[in-house]
Amino acid sequence: MAGCLAGKVALVTGASRGIGRAIAKQLASDGALVAVHYGQSKTAADDTLAAIKAAGGDGFLVQGDVGEMTGIANIFRELDAALAARGIERFDILVNNAGVGVVGDVGTTSEADFDKAFAVNVKGLLFVTQQAVPRLRDGGRIINISSMVSHNAYPAFIAYAASKAAVDSITLSLAAGLGSRKITVNAVAPGATATDFIGELDDQFMGAIKSATALGEIGKAGDIASVVAFLASPAGGWVTGERIRASGGMHL
């Protein structure tokens, strides 16, 4: 498919649903061959891939739980096999999007919820990246999906917010460490975005978010995908080590 990412290969984690699905579709429509990663939602991942192909793009599925080292190993086993079948050795763009939210303040957060947030959002992101780095071409891109909550106080999501602050920290270290290979590393920090992720929050909470947002709305997955696509594109090549808010102006 023609576009600014023609000839590039991208891996998008958590592309079965929500923001990851929108990112996978956007990168494919910009010309990239997209590895559509999923954890549990095979049918939804099939739908993402079907949408990519219906729009004239190309991709394939890879599966694995990013919270488990065996799951991460499986992702890269499947990626290596799919790329080898196409005569491709390396890839260009990693989008670390897979993530989970856990709800709880300092009094109610359980050890299990804390461990889940950090296993998926931090350990998963770091060790997916560890596997990706030797497989990325020089000049590649890593884009980590952070959150507004990493820089703003959200006492009701204390462990989740801390996990996303860790994502920001990892982003900085990666950007410094991979600059010599001309690999850029950035974080995109969405505000509240309409996906399954926030589906269970009540109307009062949603109203409070809207009134704290300059543009007065909840974001759409495509709004986040556009920012990721810019960072993945040649036009984004001079941006590294940044955390870019994509929130419609939350908490200005």
Ligand X SMILES: NC(=O)c1ccc[n+]([C@@H]2O[C@H](COP(=O)([O-])OP(=O)(O)OC[C@H]3O[C@@H](n4cnc5c(N)ncnc54)[C@H](OP(=O)(O)O)[C@@H]3O)[C@@H](O)[C@H]2O)c1
d(CA 222, CA 24): 10
Interface pick for ligand X out of 27, 28, 102, 120 (rule CB under 6 A) = 120
144 is an interface residue for ligand X by CB under 6 A = no
* Cβ distance to ligand X smaller for residue 120 or 159: 120
Number of other CB atoms surrounding residue 138 within 10 Å: 11
**31, 59, 67, 140: residue in contact with ligand X (rule CB under 6 A):** 67
Among 12, 20, 132, 178, binds ligand X (CB under 6 A): 20
Given CA atoms 89, 22, 123, 65 in this order, what sign does their dihedral have?
negative
Residue from 160, 190, 213, 248 carrying the catalytic annotation? 160
Mask 208-247, x = binds ligand X (CB under 6 A)? ----------------------------------------
Chosen residue from 29, 147, 184, 240 binding ligand X by CB under 6 A: 147
Q: Taking CB under 6 A as the rule, does residue 40 contact ligand X?
A: yes
In the complex with ligand X, the residue whose CB is nearer, 20 or 57, is: 20
Decide whether 175 or 192 has the Cβ nearer to ligand X.
192
- With CB under 6 A as the contact rule, the residue among 26, 29, 97, 240 that binds ligand X is 97
Specify the residue for token string 């990013």.
Answer: 66
- Least distance in angstroms from the C-beta of 18 to ligand X: 2
Whether 154 is a known active-site residue: answer: no
Q: Name the residues that contact ligand X, by CB under 6 A.
A: 14, 16-20, 38-41, 65-67, 97-100, 120, 145, 147, 190, 192-193, 195-198
Residues identified as active-site: 160
